Amino acid sequence: MDTVTRDFEGQVALVTGAGNGIGKETARQLAARGAIVGVNDLKAELVLPVVEAIRAAGGQAFAVVQNIASREGITAAVQLARDQHGRFDILVNNAAWVRYQALPDIQPETMDRMLDVGFKSVVWGMQAAAAVMDPERGGAIVNVASTAALRSTLNAVVYSGIKAGILGVTRAAAAELGARKIRVNAVCPSAVPTEGTQRNRNAERDAQRVARTPLGRLGTIEDIAKGICFLASDQASFMTAQALVVDGGVTFTNL
């Protein structure tokens, strides 16, 4: 376990949707920097290997097997972290359930599921975290949005709407919680190869994305996790209500 920078030493964090992808790597990086990390996902078979790997590398982690797609679920996850370790410092709202559909094909059950996991859980998570964060120490909340909140593509009406909504609630929560020393920021990744995005990727599309990206490559889960950890850290102590775009420059250029 990398111990060069232990700037999260003793802090308690919860990462939702941490069974794979960006959430998994974020949990790993937080633990490497000293945090006690709650690894959340829907199934134990996703959560436990991540917890075991963090512990094997010398970090501290605990399992939070919970469906965070409801107010009760995310509140229970936050409360578990607080009760087990006596404090709560960092919430990373990363969980998502994504389907891309053309506008005529969008069904109520698809929209409801995407909203429950990807938007409502963010609001309920911020509510739960703010309720247990120490008013003297404050805390940090990082919401995972997307560059789709800023510029969109075909068949992404619901997804883009949810991610744009995350930026809106991030700013609003930052305004409300700043007096309690709670910083609220968002990270906006571009398309990153993960288990969850595999169904929407192919070699031709990836090549097109690389060609449009000034830095000449796709992002990685490590890139995004570094951005999340930065926003959660004291290095960003005077940053709140921000949307950190981690995309190799593709969103704001036109190659």
Q: Active-site residue numbers? A: 159
Alpha-carbon dihedral sign for residues 41, 42, 46, 49: positive
pLDDT of amino acid 3: 45
pLDDT of amino acid 21: 96
CA dist list (Å): 144 to 157, 164, 179: 18, 11, 23
Residue 149: CB partners within 8 Å, gap ≥ 6? 160, 163, 164, 166, 167, 188, 243
CA dist list (Å): 139 to 39, 150, 176: 18, 27, 13
pLDDT of amino acid 153: 87
pLDDT of amino acid 193: 87
Q: Looking at this protein, which amino acid is placed at residue 97?
A: W
221 phi, psi to nearest 5 deg: -65, -30
CA dist list (Å): 138 to 37, 94, 160, 171: 17, 20, 31, 17
pLDDT of amino acid 253: 95
pLDDT in tens, the chain (255 residues): 444 589 999 999 999 999 999 999 999 999 999 999 999 999 999 999 999 999 999 999 999 999 999 999 999 999 999 999 999 999 999 999 999 999 999 999 999 999 999 999 999 999 999 999 999 999 999 999 999 999 988 999 999 999 999 999 999 999 999 999 999 999 999 989 887 666 666 788 889 999 999 999 999 999 999 999 999 999 999 999 999 999 999 999 987
90-93 and 139-144 as β-strands: parallel, antiparallel, unpaired? parallel
pLDDT of amino acid 4: 57
